[in-house]
Amino acid sequence: MERPGGLSGSRLALKRLRDVMARPATAQQRLNEVVRVVAGDMVAEVCSIYVLRAGEVLELFATQGLNPTAVHRTRLRVGEGLVGDIAAHARPLSLADAQAHPNFAYRPETGEEVYHSLMGVPILHSGRVVGVLVVQNRTRRQYDEEEVETLQTIAMVLAELVVSGELVNPVEARQIDGIGLLPLRVEGVKLNGGLGMGFAVLHEPRIVIKRVVAEDPAAEQARFREALTSVQDALDTMLEDSDIAQGGEHRDILETFRMFAEDRGWTTRISEAIENGLTAEAAVQRVFDENRARMREITDPYIRERLHDLADLTNRLLMRLTGQNDIHNGGAMPDDMIVVARNMGPAELLDYDRAHLRALVLEEGSANAHVAIVARALDIPVVGRATDILSRVEPGDPLIVDGDNAHVFIRPGEDVQLAFADGMRMREERKQIYAALRDEAPVTLDGTTIGLHINAGLLIDMQHLKTAGADGVGLYRTEIPFMVRSEFPDAEAQTALYSRILDQADGKPVVFRTLDVGGDKMLPYLDGFGEENPALGWRAIRIGLDRPSLLRQQLRALIASARGRELSIMFPMISEVTELDAARRILDLELKRETGRGRKRPKRLRVGVMLEVPALLWQLDNLLPKVDFVSIGSNDLLQFLYAADRGNPRLTDRYDTLAPAVLRVIADVVRRCAKAKVPLSLCGEMAGRPLDAMALTALGLRTLSMNPVSIGPVKAMVRSLDLARLQRFLAEQMDRDERSLREIIRSYAVDNGILI
C-alpha cells in the first residue's frame, strides 16, 4: 500500500481537485474546498493557501486547521516568516520543527503554535510566485521527497485558479505584475544605440495551458515523447538546411541546443511530473517554472544561457502539445515589431523578419552577449537589463526604444511619440548622408587620411566591410565560436572558419585577436572560472599560456587558413613583455610545424598586442622592437586605469574617456609608437563615437576600429575636420585641471562646423 504522498495518492488528490474546480461555485468557495481535500489526502492537520497581493504581501486566503477568523486577516511580507521565505526564494521548504527555524514568525490569530512540522511550496505561474501552499502537523515529522513532489503538483493546479482574476481583482493583479495602465519609462543598459518605435512582441509567449490534470498518464507520456521527438526532428532539419546556420557560429548554437533537447535529467523530471498526475503540457511548464525560479538569482553567464535554452525548448514543446503552430500563437506580426525577451540567442533574433524589426529589449543581456553583437551588426537598437520588462508589457503595447540613452517607453503619450518620430526622421536623414559617403575616402579637410576599420566577431559582420565602406577589420574577436560550443572546436573547424573570414575580406586586412575568454566570457568546457574579480583574473593570454594546447591549436588554424595570404595576429591582455615572448615561442613552433609538413606559409605574418593593462605602459621601450603593431583596447585600459568596472551601472558616468588623464596616456603611447615606427590603432568604444574619435585623431591616431554602424558618423566627422587647427586647440587644453574636456571639445566642434 502506498503512502498518501506517493504516486497513486497524488493522482487521487488531483482527481478530487479537478472535481472541485469543475463545481459551480465561487473561487473562494472552491479554495475553501481545496484546502479540505488537500489536508485529507496529505494526512495533514493543517492546509493553508496564501495569495500574493499588491505590495509584496502574502494574504491567508483559505485554511483547514488554523483559526478560520485568520483568513484575510493574516498577512506576511515576502521574505517574512517561513511562508514569506518560500515566496522570496521560490523553492519548497520542509521542516520537522518549524518553530525552531530562525525565520519562523508567530501570528497569534492563527492558533498555529500547536503545529510543529511544516511543508510549503511556492505556487508558480509563468515562473513567477503567485502564492504559497502549506501543510502542517502537530507531530515532529520529516516530509519525504515524494510528499514534496505531490504538494508541488497540487500547487501547479492551484496556480490557474489563483491567477484567474476571481480571487484578486485583475487591476491589482496587473499592479502585482508591475503592469500599469499609465505610461511607463524603464531604464536599462545601452547594448546598441538607435531609436525604434513599434508594438511589443513577446519572445516568450504566454501559452495558455487548458488541461492540467491527466486522465491517462500513459497517454500523456506518449504525447510528451511524440512532442519531444517532433522538436528534435525539427532541430535536425534546421541543422541540415538553414540560413541561420550558414555562418558557422549559428550552427554551433543549434548543435548545442539540439544536445540540450536530449538531456535525460530534464526529460526524467517531466516524466515524473506526468506520473504524478499532470498532463504533458502542465508537466513541461511546471518543471520549467521550478528551474527558472531556482536559477533566477544565479549570475553565472553559462548557467543563465542554459536557462534560456530551456525556455526556448519549453516553448517549442508547449506549442506542439497545445496545438499552436508558431511561437506567436498564430497571430499576425505587426509591421513595426519591438521584440521583448528575457534573453535570446543570435539565431533566434534572426528568426524575426528583419524588414519589420525595429528594436530589441532584454531583461538580461550584456554588451558581449551574442545577440547584442549580432544586433549591432544588423543596426538594431538594443536596451538590456530592463528590469521586469516582460511583466510590465503586454503583447501589442506601443513601445519606444531609445538605445542611445537606454530608455524604454511603454504605452507612451502622444507628445512623446511625436518627439521621437521627429528624432527618428532626423536620424534617418543622417543615415542617408552616411550611406552617400560609403565610397568616399576618410580624409580630413587638410589632407590627412584616417583608416576606419570595423570590429567583428561573426561571419555576418563581414558583409559590412563593403556596405559601410570600411578599410578592413581592425579587431576580429575569435572567442565567439568557442563560447557557443559544448566542447573546444578542433583545429580543422577553426581553420575552416578563419579561411571563410579571409575569403570574405577579399584582400582587405583582418586582425585576428587570439582567444579572449574569462572575465564575463566563460567557456563551459574549461575549468577554473568563478573568481571574485574575473576581469582582473584568469583570462585572455593568461589562459592561453597556462593551457598552451588551446593556443597552439588556434595559432595552427590561423596559420593554415592564411596560406599565401597576409595574416595579422594580436595577443590580448599582455601585461609584461615576457608574456609576449612566451606567446611568440608558441607561434614559432607552429610555423616550424607548418614548414616541416611542406605546407605553404602566410604571405606575410604580422604580430601585435593589445594595450589594455596599464603595466605595459612602462614597458613600451622593450615591447615595441618585438611587435609589428599595437592596438589600444580602450574599454579595458580605461577601466583598469580608473579601477572602475565598466559593467557597473553606478560607475557608467563617473569617469570620462575625454578626461585629461586619459588623453595624456594615449598621447604618450602615440608619441612612443611613432618614434619606434610601430603602427598604432585603437579598437574600443571611443573609436566609434565621433566626438571621441575627433580627439583621438588630434592626438595622432591614424587608424580607428569600431562597430560597423559607427563608420558613417565617424567618416562624416573626419571629412569635416581641419585636423591641424584641432591639434593646436587640443594641445592648449591638455593641461587643464578639469574632470573632462568633453564639453570644451564639443563646443569647438559646433563652432567650427565639425559633424559630430
Active site residues: 370, 683
SS3 296: coil
Fill in the amino acid letter for 411. Answer: R
How many Å apart are CA 268 and CA 271, to the nearest integer? Answer: 5
480: nearest Cα among 365, 370, 349: 370
What 8-state DSSP symbol labels residue 408?
E
Backbone angles phi, psi at 136, to 5 degrees: -140, 155
C-alpha cell at 324: 499552436
Owner of C-alpha cell 548554437: 253
Cα–Cα dist 733/738, whole Å: 9
Torsion from C-alpha of 136, 137, 142, 143, nearest 10 degrees: -50
Cell of 314: 519549453
Classify residue 508 by its DSSP letter: S
Q: Name residue 475's beta-bridge partners.
A: 455
* The three three-digit cell numbers of residue 171, written as one number: 487591476
The helix/strand/coil state of 400 is: strand
Strand order in the sheet with 93-95: 75-77, 57-64, 46-53, 128-137, 117-125, 93-95
Report which DSSP code applies to 79. Answer: T
| C-alpha cell, 469 | 565602406
Residue type at 747 in one-letter notation: S
Residue 141, C-alpha cell as written in the block: 515529522
Question: Which sign does the torsion angle of CA 239, 244, 245, 250 carry?
Answer: negative
- Which residues are within 8 A (CB) of 305 and not within 5 positions of it... i.e. 6 or more apart? 343
Burial of 627 (0-12, 13-18, 19+ CB in 10 A): buried
CA dist., res. 744 & res. 656, Å (int): 13
Cβ atoms of 209 and 281 closer than 8 Å: yes
Identify whether the C-beta of residue 159 lies closer than 8 Å to the C-beta of residue 124. yes
Read off the C-alpha cell for 287: 518543471
| Bridge partners (DSSP) listed for residue 706 | 454
Quickly count: other Cβ atoms within 10 Å of residue 689's Cβ.
21
